[in-house]
Structure 1
C-alpha cells in the first residue's frame, strides 16, 4: 500500500470509512453497557454514604446513652446528699441551720427531677434514633443487594465485550496511523461534534445518512468520482458514495468476525 501521504483520494476515503466502521462498532459495544457503569458508581457512593450515616447515628446513640448514665450518677449523688443533709438536720442548733439544710435538700430534689426529665427525653431520642438506624440498615441492605446485582450484570457484559473492544481499539489505532494527520484531526473533531459519532457517512436516497437535506446531483456525481474529499455543508460530515460504503462494510464485517 502507498504511504499515507501518497495515497489516492479514494484510498483515503476507504481508510476513513473503515475507521468510521471500527469506531462505530466500538460505540455499539459501549452502548450495550449504557449507563450501567454510572449506576454501579452511584450505588457504591450511596452505600458508602449510608455506612457513614449509620456510623454517625451509632456515635450519637452512644452519646445519648452516656448522657443517661451521667444523669443516673447525678441522681445517686443527689440522693446521697439528701440523705446526708437529712441526717445533719437532726443535729442542728437553730432554725437558720435547719432551713439552710432544707434548701439544700430541696435543691437536690429539683436536681433529681431535672435529671429524670432529661433521662426521659434521652430515652425518647434513643428510641427515635434506633428506628432511624434500623431504617438506614434496611435501606443499606437493599442497596447492597442491588449493587451486587448490577456489578454482576456489568461484569458479565464486560466479560463478553472486553476482548472484542480491546481488539477494535487496537485496530482503530492501526487505521488511524495510516491516515494523514490533517484528515485524522478533522475526523476526530467531527466525531466529537455530532451526537451519534458519525464523521464519515454514505449517501442514502440523495442525502447524507441521517440527514433530510438533499445533496445536489452535481455534488453526488463528484462524491461518486472519489476525486476529492467532500463534506456535507449542513453537518460537516465527510461524504462517501453508497457503493464504496457497501464494499468497505462487507470487508470490515469479515475483520469484525475475526476479533470477536
Structure 2
C-alpha cells in the first residue's frame, strides 16, 4: 500500500469523499434518533423529581401527624390537671384558694382550645398535602407511561441502527487512517462549521452542492482535472467534480446495502 504522502490528489479526493459519505450516513442514523435520547433523559429526570416530591410530602405529613399527637397529649395532660384542680377545689379553706384554682382551670381550658385549634389547622394541612400527593401521583403515572413509550421507541430505533452505526464508525476510523492528518483536520474543521456536516460536496449545475453560488468555468475545469484540492470561496467546503462523486456514491452504496 502506498504511503499517505505518495498518493495522488485524485486518490485523496476519493478517500475524503468516501469518508464524507460514511459520516453523512452516520449523521442520518443519528438524525433518525433525533431528540429521543434527550427526551428520555428529561422524562427520567422529571420522574425522579416527582418521586422526591412525594417523599418530601410524606415526610411533611409525618411531621404534622407527630405535632397532632403532641397536641393530643397536651390536651390529655390539661384535662388531668383540670380534674386535679377540680378535686382540690372541694377541699379549699377560703375564696382566695378557690379563685386561684379556678384561674388554673380556666388556663387549662384555654390550653385545650388552642391545642384543638392547632389540631384542626394541622388536619387541614394534611388534607391539602394529600390532595397534592394525589395530583403528583397522577402526574407521575402519566410521566412513567410516557417514559416507557419513549424508551421503547428509542430501543426499537437503536436495535435497528446500532449495528449499522458501529460498522460505519469503524469504517470511518479506517478511512481516516489512510488520509494525511492535515486533510483530516481540515475536513473536521469544515464539517463542524457547516450546518449539515457536509465538508466535501460535488459541483452540480455549475455551483457547489447545496449552494446557489456559481463557480467560474475555469475553476470547474481545475476541479475536474483533480490535480489540486480546491475549496468553495463562499462556504469553505472542498469541491469534487460530479463524475468522481457519482462513482464514489455508487461504490459506497454497495457497502451501505
Shift of 1:107: 0.7
Q: RMSD of the TM alignment (CA)?
A: 0.7
Q: Which residue of 2 aligns with 1:44?
A: 44
Deviation for aligned residue 1:48: 0.4
What is the TM-score with the length of structure 1 in the denominator? 0.97
1:177 is matched with 177
Shift of 1:2: 2.3
Q: Distance in 1 between matches of 2:30 and 2:5?
A: 32
Counterpart of 1:18 in structure 2 is 18
Instruction: State the match for 1:6 in structure 2.
Output: 6
Residues in 1 aligned to 2:56 and 2:208: alpha-carbon distance in whole angstroms: 59
Task: Give the secondary structure class of the aligned counterpart of 1:21.
Answer: helix
Report the counterpart of residue 191 of structure 1 in structure 2: 191
What is the aligned partner in structure 1 of residue 217 from structure 2?
A: 217
Cα distance between partner residues in 2 of 1:100 and 1:242: 110
Which 5+ residue runs of structure 1 have no aligned equivalent?
none
2:180 matches 1:202: no
Cα distance in 2, alignment partners of residues 102 and 81 from structure 1? 12
The Cα shift of 1:5 comes to: 1.1
Q: What CA deviation, in whole Å up to 9, does each residue of 1:147-191 have, x standing for no partner?
A: 111111111110000000000000000000010001000001111
Residue 214 of structure 2: SS of its match in structure 1? coil
| 2:80 match | 80
Does the residue aligned with 1:201 lie in a helix, a strand or coil? strand
Output the CA distance in 2 between the equivalents of 1:214 and 1:109.
96
Length, aligned pairs only? 257
Deviations 1:132-155 (A, max 9, x none): 001101110111111111111111
1:198 is paired with a residue whose SS is coil
CA deviation profile, 1:180-215 (whole Å, cap 9, x unmatched) = 001000001111111110000001111111111111
Aligned residue in 2 for 1:91: 91
Distance 1:162 1:154 in 2: 11
Separation in 1, partners of 2:6, 2:96: 118
State how far apart, in whole Å, the 2-side matches of 1:129 and 1:247 are. 69
* Distance in 2, Cα, partners of 1:37 & 1:177: 30
Deviation of 1:94 after TM superposition, in Å, equals 1.6
Residue 51 of structure 2: SS of its match in structure 1?
helix
> What SS is found at the alignment partner of 1:5?
helix
Equivalent residue, structure 2, for 1:70 = 70
What is the CA distance between 1:16 and its match in structure 2?
Answer: 0.3
2: CA distance, partners of 1:223 / 1:56: 68
Q: Does 1:145 align with 2:142?
A: no
Give the secondary-structure state (helix, strand or coil) at the position aligned to 1:202: strand
How far apart in 1 are the matches of 2:66 and 2:105?
A: 26
Aligned pairs for 1:110-129 (under 5 A) are 110-129=110-129
